[in-house]
Amino acid sequence: MAITAEDVRILREKTSAGIMDCKKALQETEGNIDKAVEYLRKKGIASAEKRVGREAKEGIIESYIHPGSRLGVVVEVNCETDFVAKTDGFKEFAKNIAMQIAAAKPLVVKREELSQEIIDRELDVYKTQAQNENKPENIAEKIAQGRMDKFYKEVCLMEQSFIRDPNVTVEELMKETIGKLGENIRIRRFARFELGGE
């Protein structure tokens, strides 16, 4: 099947991928734009996996103040080089992460950062709820674990659905960005301030 320049242009606008990558994706998916987007996304995530171990000490500190100045976020996003830290793609990613934190109220970047105390408390609550629903012990355990997974998706930034595209998690968005920029990226830490909050 012949791939038109218009198809390549449409795919580039959707993905920001290079011309040759878009052409190859369209050839691999027989001209199906949606499948080509998915193909490029998977390719970006696969190449991102190879970069994850590399050290990321450069980057920026991004801030977001919500209109009305009652809510603010500061986030540190790292990359490998100062050059990438200055690119529009990296800055846009950092801004999106700051807005994500403002809107979705995560407690930590990843689940390993949650204290054992919080995990034990939540698990205990979910077990008690399941037992109060008269579920057998082994079923109550599974229900509690399922609710814990949902809890992680709510409070761990990397596991949250991205506010601008709920079909993608923040971690997947980061891996796509790593694939596009060609460098490891890490969301190191953040602080979220709400007027009158704790």
Q: Which of 9-18, 97-106, 129-138 has the highest mean pLDDT?
A: 97-106
Domain boundaries, the chain: 5-51, 58-110+156-194, 115-154
Contact 8, 23 (CB under 8 A): yes
Which has the higher per-residue pLDDT, 105 or 135?
105
Closest by CA to 158, choosing from 88, 109, 85, 191, is: 109
CATH code, residues 5-51: 1.10.8.10
Query: Tell me, what's the pLDDT at 52?
Result: 53
Residue 179 clears pLDDT 80, i.e. is over it: yes
Report whether CATH 3.40.250.10 matches the domain 115-154: no
Q: Helix count (H) and strand count (E) of the chain?
A: 8, 5
Average pLDDT of every residue of the chain? 87
Question: Residue 21's CB: how many other CB atoms inside 10 A?
Answer: 21
| Single-letter amino acid code for the residue at 185 | I
pLDDT, average across residues 94-106: 97
Instruction: Note the pLDDT tens digit of each residue in 66-92.
Output: 999 999 999 999 999 899 999 999 999
Give the confidence band of 147 by pLDDT, cuts at 50, 70, 90. Answer: very high
Worst-scoring range by mean pLDDT, 15-19, 90-94, 96-100, 113-117?
A: 15-19
Instruction: Note the pLDDT tens digit of each residue in 8-20.
Output: 888 777 766 667 7
pTM passes above 0.75: no
The domain covering 58-110+156-194 belongs, at the CATH homologous superfamily level, to: Elongation factor Ts, dimerisation domain (3.30.479.20)
